Amino acid sequence: MLNYEFQNDTGILVLQPKEPLEEADFIALTSQVDTYLEGHGKLHGVLIHAQSFPGWKNFAALLAHLKFLKAHLKKIEKVAVVADGAIANIVPNIASHFIHAEVRHFDFTREEAAWDWLKQSSDIVV
């Protein structure tokens, strides 16, 4: 299950994976993100907030996730990964090889620092 919320005033999408991700999560998310992008062109940021990554329910969910990423990564300026664990620490290094967005990791308890970083943009008025 993937909970998500748009912060329309800042152009930031908050993702909170709680349980293994399902294909339906990405179908719903794609619809919402595409609607937002039609009016705004890009997302200023994505904040991924999870104590740990729950994985995918099945292979169809993994494929839906990859399809979502392929369609939307070029329209995202920044990604803040707010999580604990070894994988969270290496995400920015891995992501830098595949996407143009700036990606940073923040410890799970430092969500406010992640928000501050995401909001640092010449296009965001807070």
Phi, psi values for residue 41, rounded to 5°: 85, -35
- Note the pLDDT of residue 122: 47
Angle ∠(66,115,25) on CA atoms, nearest 5: 30
pLDDT tens digit at each of 126 positions of the chain: 899 998 888 899 999 998 999 999 999 999 999 999 999 999 999 999 988 788 899 999 999 988 998 888 889 999 998 987 656 555 555 655 566 788 888 988 999 999 999 998 645 544
Helix (H, G, I), strand (E, B) or coil at 15: strand
How many Å apart are CA 59 and CA 56, to the nearest integer?
7
CA distance to 2, 15, 56, 74, per residue, from 84 (Å) = 18, 15, 18, 26
- Note the pLDDT of residue 4: 93
pTM: 0.83
Can you list the domains of the chain with their CATH numbers? 2-118 (3.30.750)
Structure tokens that stand for 81 in this block: 């990964």
- Note the pLDDT of residue 123: 56
- Note the pLDDT of residue 55: 84
46 closest CA partner among 24, 21, 25, 74: 74
How many Å apart are CA 110 and CA 57, to the nearest integer?
28
